[in-house]
């Protein structure tokens, strides 16, 4: 089996991406990042999801982005919004996807993987600059100049199989591939048990997605 790196947050989207990579026959090395996020229950979810979907390995890198702040997800003094906002949301973490893809790139080099899978989505997160296809293409181009493969290896491909999918489509696809969504945590401010707030952007998108599919929403909500 060909090895691939899969960025795994523990949320619904990246769980589906892991299932897609597995269905395509890759030996999946899952990578999560403990970046000081509010929703730390996501990291426990990532471990459960990696095991249940047959990842060959799962690593969690510790990188405390709270040193930088600048986002509602890493700075407790910035509130998580509970209604949709215009422009770039305050939940955007500066350069997060670039940092995560860079870490995946390092792991790809060490494990001799030529493929990285990531769950960016240009529909739900239209306000996040680092979820757009032209950004992914530019990262891939840079990555192919950055590492040993530029000199002596084969090219690297970054797969973002759900980048153009709506939430309902992602849920249908994940379900077909055996993702247990009850295991996943997407809420920006889940509690320690992983129960969702039901009010943040991420909860709203998830709830609307399940409603649109007719599949029962297995999310555990805070009382």
Counting contacts by CB under 8 A, is residue 117 touching its own copies? no
Among 4, 6, 28, 105, binds its own copies (CB under 8 A): 105
Distance CA 9, CA 45 (A): 8
With CA atoms as reference, report the closest residue to 74 among 88, 95, 59: 95
62 or 192: CB nearest its own copies = 62
User: Could you give the CA distance from residue 115 to residue 101 in angstroms, rounded to a whole number?
Assistant: 11
Six token digits for residue 163: 């980048």
Site for its own copies contains 76 (CB under 8 A):
no
Q: Which of 44, 52, 57, 68 binds its own copies (CB under 8 A)?
A: 68
Residues 56, 102, 123, 195: which binds its own copies (CB under 8 A)? 102
- Range 43-62, binding its own copies (CB under 8 A): 59, 61-62
Instruction: Tell me: does residue 145 bind its own copies (CB under 8 A).
Output: yes
Contact 96, 130 (CB under 8 A): yes
In the block, tokens 């809420």 appear at 187
Nearest partner of 159 among 18, 58, 45, judged by Cα: 18
Is residue 87 involved in binding its own copies (CB under 8 A)?
A: yes
Q: From 10-18, 104-112, 114-122, 209-217, give the range in contact with its own copies by CB under 8 A.
A: 104-112
CA distance 144 to 113: 13
If one asks whether residue 23 binds its own copies (CB under 8 A), the answer comes out as: no
> Does residue 157 touch its own copies according to CB under 8 A?
no
Work out how close the CB of 172 gets to its own copies at its nearest, in angstroms, rounded to a whole number. Answer: 30
**Residue 157 bridge partners (DSSP):** 115
Spatial distance between the Cα atoms of 155 and 157, rounded to a whole number of angstroms: 7
8 A C-beta contact, residue 219 and residue 191: no
Q: How far apart are CA 217 and CA 214, in angstroms?
A: 9
The reply on whether position 107 binds its own copies by CB under 8 A is yes
Question: Cβ closer to its own copies: 14 or 97?
Answer: 97
Considering the rule CB under 8 A, would residue 218 count as an interface residue with its own copies? Answer: no
Question: What are the residues binding its own copies (CB under 8 A)?
Answer: 59, 61-65, 67-70, 87-88, 92-99, 102-103, 105-107, 109-110, 129-130, 132, 134-135, 138-139, 141-143, 145-148, 150-152
């Amino acid at each position: 089996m060909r090895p691939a790196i899969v960025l795994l947050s523990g949320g619904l989207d990246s769980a589906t991406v892991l299932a897609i990579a597995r269905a395509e026959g890759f030996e999946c090395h899952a990578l999560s990042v403990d970046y000081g996020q509010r929703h730390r229950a996501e990291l426990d979810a990532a471990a459960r999801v990696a095991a249940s979907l047959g990842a060959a390995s799962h690593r969690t890198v510790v990188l405390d982005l709270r040193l930088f702040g600048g986002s509602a997800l890493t700075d407790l003094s910035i509130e998580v919004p509970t209604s949709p906002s215009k422009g770039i949301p305050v939940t955007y973490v500066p350069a997060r996807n670039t940092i995560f893809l860079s870490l995946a790139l390092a792991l790809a080099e060490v494990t001799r993987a030529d493929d990285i899978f990531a769950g960016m989505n240009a529909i739900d997160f239209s306000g996040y600059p680092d979820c757009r296809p032209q950004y992914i293409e530019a990262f891939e181009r840079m990555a192919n100049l950055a590492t040993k493969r530029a000199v002596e290896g084969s090219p690297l491909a970054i797969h973002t199989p759900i980048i153009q999918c709506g939430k309902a489509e992602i849920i249908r696809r994940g379900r077909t591939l055996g993702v247990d969504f009850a295991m996943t945590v997407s809420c920006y401010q889940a509690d320690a048990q992983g129960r969702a707030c039901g009010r943040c952007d991420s909860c709203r998108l998830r709830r609307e997605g399940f409603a649109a599919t007719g599949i029962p929403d297995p999310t555990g909500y805070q009382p």
